[in-house]
Structure 1
C-alpha cells in the first residue's frame, strides 16, 4: 500500500505492508539524502524473511513527500523528526515497532526509542551519529564539492525531483554551522531500554567507531554491535546479503 498521510499539516509519502497486525512493524528511516525508493528491495526482503510488517516513508522534503519550507533547520531537527515519527505511529495505530535507521535515520531511531519507549520493540542502528566528528564534516565538505563539480545533483533529482537543492543545502548548512558543532544526543541514550544492534562499516567515511562504542556503552537495554571490515557508510547497500542475515537473526529474537 502506498499513500500520503498528513502529519502536522504536511503530506508524507508512506509505503506500508501490513499482512499480520499481530506482528511488529519494521520502520525504515532513511539517511540525510535518502528516500523510500533508495532503500530498493531491502525492506521487502527483510519483511518477508522475518514475517513482520514493514513501513518505509519519506521525511518532509525528501522523495515524494512535501518540500521543506526553507533550507535552515534548527539544531534539534532530528529530535523533531522523532516526534513526527511518533505522530505517524499513532496515526497508523502501530504499537509495536522495530526501527531500522540509517545515518540520520539511525539517530532518529535512538531519539524515538528514548522518548517513546512503549512503542519501540528494538532498534537496528546503522552508521548513526550521536555527536559531530571531524571525519563527518570532512565527508560533508567532500560531498559539497561533488555536488558542485559532478552529476550528483542530477542523480539525486531522479529521487527527489525539484526539492534537491533545498534538501542538500539543508544538510550541508545545518551540519557545518558553528552552532551545530556541539550537537550531541548522548543524553537520550540512558533512556533506551529496548535491544539495540549497531551496524557499522570500519571504513565509514562519515563516522568512527566512537559512535558505536559510546552508544553501546550507554543504552540501558541489551546492546550488540556488528562491525564490518572494508565497508563504508551504507552496509545495507554494499553487502546487502550479510546485513540481511544479521538483521534477520536480531529481529527473529525480538519477535519471540
Structure 2
C-alpha cells in the first residue's frame, strides 16, 4: 500500500494484519531523514498533543507517529503482555512498521517505553536507515522508585480519574493500562535489564531526562554514558519530571532541533566527501 502522508485523524496502517493508527507531519520521506516517534507506555498518537507539529517546524524534517498495538485507536492486544514486550516490539514489529510506512533514513525518537524500544531496535537490528536516536526518559533496568511510581499509577487508575482521562484516547483503556502496569509490577520484572543494547549502538544518541523524573533516576543516562561506543550527549533538565517535552518544551525542542541539524549536516558532509 501507499502511505497517505497526512495528519488527518483516523488514518490506519496495516502491519502484519494489525491496524495501527498513525499521523504524519512536515515533508514526506525524501533526501532528509524522518523523525519516527515512539510513545510512552500509556501513550498514543493523540497523547503526543502538538509535539510532532512543533518538531516538524523546528527541525524541518518530516515526522511520523503511530500508536502501537493495544494503544490509541490501533487494534487491541491480548493480556497479559509478555514481560519482554518491549524487546518483542523492537525486534518483531518496529522494522515492519518502518517498511510499511515507506521510511527511508530515520531518526528514532522515543519517550519512556518508546525510548527503550528504539534503543533495543538500534542495538539489535541491522537497519542502516537508522541515523540517530533521541531518547526521552529512557529506561534500561528497573529501579525501586520507578516501580513504586508505577504501583501508585495503578492505584490512581483504580480509584481516581486516571481511567477516565486515558479512556478519551484509548479505545480499549484496560488493555492499554493493564498491558503496561501489570508487566512492570510483576515480581519477575524486577530483574528486567536490557542495558546490553547500549553496547551495540553505532549511531549518535541524544538523551533527555528531567532531574525529578519519578520513573527513573539519572542512573539510566549514566548507564548509556558508561557503555556506549557511539557519539553521546545528554541534556538533564531541572524542575522537570517524566515528560520533558511537556514540562520543559522549549529546552527539549531546542535540544532535539540542534541534534537533528548537526546530524543532517554531518550526513551531508560525509556524502560530499565520498
Same fold (TM over 0.5): yes
Q: 1:232: how far off?
A: 0.3
Tell me how far 1:20 sits from its aligned partner.
Answer: 5.4
The whole-number CA distance in structure 1 between the counterparts of 2:103 and 2:229 is: 23
The reply on whether 1:144 has 2:142 as its aligned counterpart is no
1:136 positional shift = 1.1
Q: Distance in 1 between matches of 2:257 and 2:13?
A: 29
Taking the TM superposition and a 5 Å limit, the aligned residue runs for 1:73-112 are: 73-83=81-91, 84-112=93-121
State the 1:211 CA deviation: 0.5
* Aligned partner (choices 32, 38, 45) of residue 23 of structure 1: 32
1:248 is aligned to 2:257: yes
For 1:7 and 1:92, the matched residues in 2 are separated by 9
User: Any idea what the Cα deviations from partners look like across 1:45-69, whole Å, max 9, x if unmatched?
Assistant: 111221111100000011110111x
- Contact map agreement 1:78 1:104 (CA 8 A) in 2: yes
Q: How does 1:12-161 map to 2 (within 5 A)?
A: 12-17=20-25, 18-19=27-28, 21-68=30-77, 70-83=78-91, 84-116=93-125, 117-161=127-171
Alignment deviations for residues 176-207 of structure 1 (CA, whole Å, 9 cap, x no partner): 11221111111111110101111010000101
Give matches, 1:222-237, under 5 Å: 222-237=231-246
Asked whether the 8 Å contact 1:107–1:128 carries over to 2, the reply is: yes
Q: For residues 45 and 224 of structure 1, what CA distance do their matches in structure 2 show? A: 22
Which residue is 2:199 aligned to? 190
- Superposed displacement of residue 151, structure 1: 0.9
**Structure 2: gaps spanning 5 or more residues:** 1-5, 266-274
- Structure 2 counterparts to residues 145-224 of structure 1, below 5 A: 145-161=155-171, 163-224=172-233
2:268 aligns to what?
none
Partner of 1:55, secondary structure, is strand
Higher mean C-alpha displacement, 215-224 vs 232-241: 215-224
Distance 2:28 2:42 in 1: 30
Q: Which residue matches 2:13?
A: 5
Q: CA deviation at 1:121?
A: 0.7
- The alignment's TM-score, normalised by the length of structure 1, stands at 0.96
Report the more deviating stretch, 76-85 or 205-214: 76-85
Q: CA RMSD in A?
A: 1.2
| CA deviation map 1:133-169 (0-9, x unaligned) | 10111001110111122111001111013x1112211
Question: How many residues in Structure 1 have an aligned counterpart in Structure 2?
Answer: 254
